[in-house]
């Protein structure tokens, strides 16, 4: 974004109806290191919302909701998913 923070966008490409772009996090914080879940429903990412510490958040591509997964005193970034 123009606030010098990283943003995460989801590009949906549909065969018959074109495509759409969705900004998945609309905060003043930095969002980075996005990783898709194995089935494609979830996206894990790191954000420093509310502090200078990065924690992991999960975005649900079906409900368009986001929840915080970690609340730690040190930086945490998603590395991948396990099945």
CA separation for the pair 25, 66 (Å, rounded): 8
pLDDT of residue 45: 92
Rounded Cα–Cα distance for residues 31 and 16 (Å): 31
pLDDT above 70 for 1: no
Tens digit of each residue's pLDDT (9 = 90 or more) over 2-45: 556 777 777 777 767 777 777 777 788 888 898 999 998 999 99
Output Rg (C-alpha) for the chain, integer angstroms.
13
Query: The tokens 């970690």 sit on which residue?
Result: 70
d(C-alpha 7, C-alpha 41), whole Å: 19
Report pLDDT for 58.
Answer: 95
**What would the pLDDT profile of 43-61 be if each residue is shown by its tens digit?**
999 999 878 899 999 999 8
């Amino acid at each position: 974004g123009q606030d010098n923070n990283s943003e995460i966008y989801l590009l949906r490409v549909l065969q018959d109806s074109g495509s759409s772009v969705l900004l998945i996090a609309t905060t003043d914080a930095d969002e980075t290191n996005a990783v898709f879940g194995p089935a494609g429903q979830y996206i894990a990412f790191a954000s420093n919302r509310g502090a200078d510490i990065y924690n992991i958040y999960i975005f649900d591509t079906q409900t368009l909701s986001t929840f915080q997964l970690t609340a730690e005193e040190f930086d945490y970034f998603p590395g991948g998913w396990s099945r």
